[in-house]
Amino acid sequence: MAISVEDLMADARLHVESLSPAEARDAISAGAILIDTRCSADREAEGVVPGSVQHHRTVLEWRLDPESESHDRAVADRSLRHIIMCNDGYSSLLAAGNLARMGFERIGHLDGGYRGWKAAGLPAQS
C-alpha cells in the first residue's frame, strides 16, 4: 500500500513534539540537545545555532543509535531529550519520526527549522 509524504508527516506528528523556536530555546537551556541536520553548504551560508550538534540528515539514525558502530557517544542515548533541526522544519519532522520509531521517547523537532529560529531573532553565528 502506497502512502504519501503527507501521511508520513501526519504519523510523525503523533509521536514527535513540535517546538516553536522559543520553546526549543527553553528546552536547550534545560539540557536538550539540538541536532542540526542541514548540509554543510547551508550551515556555511546561513549560520548555525551556538551549541548545536551537526549530523547530516543522511547519517542521523546511525549517529544516534547506541547500537550502531557509527554512533556519536555524545548524543547516542535514548534517555536524552533531542530536538532535530533542518532548514524549514519538514525533513526534521520526518527524521524525528524515524527516531521515535527507534525508541527515542523524548524526541522533538524545531517547527520552522533554522530559518524560523533566525526569524524569531534567536542567537545564531556565522
pLDDT digits (tens, 9 = 90+) for 70-81: 999 999 999 999
**How many Å apart are CA 60 and CA 69, to the nearest integer?**
13
Per-residue pLDDT band at 109 (split at 50, 70, 90): very high
The pTM for the full model equals 0.95
The strand ranges marked E within the chain are: 17-19, 33-36, 53-54, 82-85, 107-110
Backbone angles phi, psi at 19, to 5 degrees: -110, 135
What residue ranges do the domains of the chain occupy? Answer: 15-119
Superfamily of the domain at 15-119: Rhodanese-like domain (3.40.250.10)
| 28 CA to centre of own chain | 12
The grid coordinates listed for 47 are: 549560520
pLDDT tens digits, 50-72: 999 999 999 999 999 999 999 99
